[in-house]
Structure 1
């Protein structure tokens, strides 16, 4: 007789014990105007930690200045370390663990805002920055892989319990996996085996850095199951990549995601497409362009609970390693469904943005329902201060009484 996992019991994530199986997913906070930790950023993560999650994930901690999606994001450097330590101490004081999402934005990076070069598998135009990402040479690739290893070492020094290597959403490693973006003809292009070299090499570099440091932290990765666009990463190819990552032994878990920040972001989010609000976050002429063509970029997909479960079950059937189910996890029934389907953890995003204490309330009363209506207007707030437009949570520190 199979005993159902209880989502509210302790669970091992690699060498780390979490108080439950619920993880706050990485959602860009827009709380670092000087690319350093602020009280706002600490509050952003302290609230769901106090609200009951087993672990919260800090996004997006770039491995280099040019790896940011915009210039206000934190990147790993000595000046950032005191603030990051203050952040991890605050989360630990609430009884939760904390993970650092590390990555390089690749063709998604805003070279204009970052005042640094952006890199991609091939020369690639980013319409948000109105700049081209450069063709990454072998030396560029090696430097970015090593930067991930350095970020892992610094994460340990800052007191993080885990690192999440970003292999999704057409960021650097994901753009190499994508046959639509990666048109190279060298050892990093063509076959899936070649296109997966950057992702696999990055994970192994991070694992080696963690093992050499001697401090046990968990290493996870966020991996696209599908880009949701014709010619992009397919579920079949992603599953093979996941099998290789499992065989390589560098990861303690994979968080399964979907969609492309470059061409189809709503494939991850589902629900309403906030074209008007998204356009309002930019200045003309980009604002006008988004208003005219936004429906093509922000395609609308209907929301349903556990909307990534169908594809994720294909991975669960083929892999033995721990998997984290993301997408439409808002109530106890869906959490229990994920456990019944063999997933080891669930990750929550928008529901916790709206109600940081939702996990504690669900634990106390399994009939609790999230008030998130999936309007997705929170997406447009990432250019100012990420918050739920329905509840106003979390408000900036400066606006609290």
Structure 2
């Protein structure tokens, strides 16, 4: 078989994309009142105008306690008009739009949300300094219905793709990770049971939306902490999800927003910059050896998840999106040669929203993101690249 052209149109389930590039979900920090703003629209219009095939709106919560903090959007009737306006604006550029649908679980700040956080098993929250409680059967039934309700609203809003968040120690991921899931009921134990929530939500969302939109999931190739999801577990989960047949693709990510965020980002660890954005007590904690150890430093290398992602690629036939440090045209073409169907980019497009068009035109062959990661602390004031020149 010939290697696909990353810049040629491609199908993602029932959706035709103008190319195989995806703007990965990265929290935008532009919804202070939990609704779509002009600033959020401008944030996604930039890479859409710049040639990306699909841009992904991050962290669309299915329930109030599913937000990481109170400024995030909860999908519902209140937020529907803004979401529809956002979808229309992106469609006008020729790009498609995805919504990352999720429940933050233990990554939620219960104090900020005013609602206690839930997880697979009880645990202390380093974010709220509260105890996260174990999700009950009633909670899981309610959250499952909330995913269906959110999917229905996003379809009405005109979204093309629903990305189910199953990674980064969010609620579904907390059930998948054996170190975070110590349950002895039908939701704990072997992966087939720990993966029950992931499979259940994929099923009910697909049953709700049918073939009207594409449904994908973000999964971890490795969580990067003891007791987290391993690559072997990731392979097994991918095989289960493929056998169920409810998803159009998997996006392969890694790391844990709660336990090891730098495993996802790689490169420099902006400890001082993060500390400066935190309340005094948290700021002090980040200056301790334990706090500094939270933001570990991993040397950056191009396509750093590729070796683990290739193990998943060898185990399933379903479409896969490669994520993690993709900046070069050579890497994008290698991903196609490896059998990946799409490439997802985050920081590279934050630094250069028009990078896809410039790569396609042959103006450049690599992005200029330095992976300093000083963009990470800006999520509290509007996610941006501190090195990028302001645009008019």
Instruction: For residue 253 of structure 1, report the CA deviation from its aligned partner.
Output: 0.1
Deviations 1:346-400 (A, max 9, x none): 000000001101110111116432111000010111111100011056x7xxxx5
User: Aligned residue for 1:232?
Assistant: 228
Is contact 1:331-1:366 (8 Å) kept? no
Q: How many angstroms apart in 2 are the aligned matches of 1:43 and 1:390?
A: 19
For structure 1, the 5+ residue unaligned runs are: none
Q: Within 5 A, what are the aligned runs for 1:382-401?
A: 382-392=379-389
User: Aligned residue for 1:109?
Assistant: 108
Asked whether 1:286 is paired with 2:282, we answer yes
Q: Within 5 A, what are the aligned runs for 1:2-401?
A: 2-211=1-210, 216-292=212-288, 293-365=290-362, 367-392=364-389
Instruction: For residue 217 of structure 1, report the CA deviation from its aligned partner.
Output: 0.3
Instruction: For residue 150 of structure 1, report the CA deviation from its aligned partner.
Output: 1.0
Q: How many angstroms apart in 2 are the aligned matches of 1:286 and 1:45?
A: 31
Is contact 1:203-1:251 (8 Å) kept? yes
More moved, 18-27 vs 182-191: 182-191
Q: How many angstroms apart in 2 are the aligned matches of 1:344 and 1:31?
A: 30
What is the SS of the residue equivalent to 2:19?
coil
More moved, 330-339 vs 366-375: 366-375
C-alpha spacing 1:46/1:351, structure 2 compared with 1 (3 Å):
same
Q: How many angstroms apart in 1 are the aligned matches of 2:13 and 2:46?
A: 25
Instruction: For residue 117 of structure 1, report the CA deviation from its aligned partner.
Output: 2.3
After TM superposition, the score normalised by the length of structure 1 is 0.96
After TM superposition, the score normalised by the length of structure 2 is 0.98
Instruction: For residue 270 of structure 1, report the CA deviation from its aligned partner.
Output: 0.5
Deviations 1:233-254 (A, max 9, x none): 1110111011000000110000
What is the SS of the residue equivalent to 1:386?
coil
Q: How many angstroms apart in 1 are the aligned matches of 2:62 and 2:270?
A: 30
Instruction: For residue 123 of structure 1, report the CA deviation from its aligned partner.
Output: 1.4
Is contact 2:8-2:20 (8 Å) kept? yes
Instruction: For residue 193 of structure 1, report the CA deviation from its aligned partner.
Output: 1.2
What is the SS of the residue equivalent to 1:79?
coil
What is the SS of the residue equivalent to 1:273?
coil
Is contact 1:228-1:258 (8 Å) kept? yes
Is contact 2:46-2:353 (8 Å) kept? yes
Is contact 1:332-1:366 (8 Å) kept? no
Q: How many angstroms apart in 1 are the aligned matches of 2:256 and 2:172?
A: 12
Deviations 1:304-362 (A, max 9, x none): 11111000000111110000000111121010000000000000000000110111011
More moved, 290-299 vs 197-206: 290-299
What is the SS of the residue equivalent to 1:346?
strand
Is contact 2:221-2:305 (8 Å) kept? no
Q: How many angstroms apart in 2 are the aligned matches of 1:25 and 1:270?
A: 16
Is contact 1:354-1:392 (8 Å) kept? no
Aligned pairs, how many? 391
Moved over 3 A (4+): none
Q: How many angstroms apart in 1 are the aligned matches of 2:314 and 2:110?
A: 40
